[in-house]
Amino acid sequence: MRAVTRGFLGPLLALSLVACAPVQFVEDYDPVLDQGLSRYQEDVAGFMAEMAARAGTPAGAYEDTDVQVFYARTDTQLQSFVDRAQALDDDGTCLPANFVGQGIKQVVDESTAFIQASEFGTGQADQVTEVFDSFGDGSDTVGAGNCTVVILKVVQANHEILQLVHEDNDSLPPIVVDILGPTLDQSVRIAIKNEVLKKNRAE
């Protein structure tokens, strides 16, 4: 197994908002994002369980038609979430001065360093690193866009890592799913928690 799959035990995109102090958000609660993220979370969990059970078979291979359909559909879904968050607050900025910004900046730095040291195929590490680099250098902002946009981009990047690992290994065996599953699920939970906090603030 390649080093990239073993290395995901580290805090790649782990970020918890559960125990943080109240955070002031600029953006309003969006039930479409909240519900959409919950459906995505269930969809991905089911997909990864299926891939673990089908590892080493044609149905679990990256080039399988159903697998390609899944990635095409979820890629589009996540991009629609990002586009929606940008449209709802196009001028927002996620500042490192707040808890969310500090956490995102930390995991972005850790993720970039990890991916650069990993054994992705030629060009693939650069593709994912560009996503993280786009969040900014952290001197004034974590990234262009409100915190909802940045968090969704973290989910999007995590999803892309899943796809790259699947492509690189041509399967998602149980040991890989056991590593990637919680990592991806945690990043989605962060995005959902973001919406819940905004909903509670509004109420």
Q: Which of 128, 108, 91 is nearest to 190 (CA)?
A: 108
CB 160 within 8 A of CB 182: no
CB 131 within 8 A of CB 156: yes
Could you give the percent of the chain with pLDDT greater than 90? 29
- Residue 200's pLDDT is 81
Tokens in use for 4? 């990239």
- Residue 105's pLDDT is 67
Q: Which of 99, 103, 104, 96 is nearest to 21 (CA)?
A: 99
* pTM (2 d.p.): 0.74
- Residue 187's pLDDT is 79
Q: Are strands 143-144 and 93-94 parallel, antiparallel or unpaired?
A: antiparallel
Q: What is the number of other CB atoms lying within 10 angstroms of the CB of residue 61? A: 17
List, for the chain, all residue ranges whose pLDDT scores fall below the cut of 50. 1-25, 122
